Structure 1
């Protein structure tokens, strides 16, 4: 039975977060945490928090936390905040502030 956690509305673009999700998918939880701690990517902080919460969910259900693996690491697109940057001669350029939903599932190996 997979134990899942979702971080909704993370303020990072889904494209950048998917690069980090690809790093940890299929690894054991200990290896994934080490990988996230050593990563320089900003999305690694969001992933680490979501992974720790998924492990806590498994611990709450009295699963064996030593044999957990990351069975699913998915990043979906969230709502986009639309802003405008004023430019010369009355123009405005759009700024898309993208968000994402990070879903991490861990399962016993």
Structure 2
């Protein structure tokens, strides 16, 4: 089983819904390709994710210096809800409406890309003893003729 390298960003001040939009773009991609995509994405979450992926790459270099960074790919990318900070906004007639400031926990797991092995196609044996199937005719239904 290949080794996994993790990096976690907790309590980030971005809603999980907005962050998932960014993470769906780069999930299951090579690390260098994911960083290129994120640099071209103009969302605030992309900057956070770039730093997190770079941190995971640094973790990979520290734990196993022999690893080739170009072979790493994002195997798991999870965005979970963090704590919600409640605030109140005053409105007319002495009322107040709640504001829910959401936070996120983001986890990136990198894994070396597995070498693709070509699959061997199995040839099916022809069974000459099988009889050809004949199509079955549909039963005729007697519909009453309409008189005009």
TM-score computed with the length of structure 1 as normaliser:
0.97
Greater RCO, CA 8 A, separation 6+? 1
Partner of 2:55: 53
Residue equivalent to 2:108: 104
User: Unpaired runs of 5+ in structure 1?
Assistant: none
Shift of residue 65, structure 1, vs aligned partner: 1.1
Cα deviation 1:34-67 (Å, max 9, x = unaligned): 0110001111011111100000000112222121
Partner of 1:13: 15
Q: SS of the counterpart of 1:4? A: strand
Partner of 2:28, secondary structure, is coil
TM-score normalized by structure 2? Answer: 0.72
RMSD: 0.7
Q: Which runs of 4+ in 1 moved over 4 A?
A: none
Structure number with the higher helix fraction is 1
Task: List runs of 5+ in structure 2 lacking aligned partners.
Answer: 114-148
CA distance in 2, matches of 1:54, 1:105: 7
Distance in 2, matches of 1:21 and 1:67, equals: 20
Question: Max radius of gyration: which structure?
Answer: 2
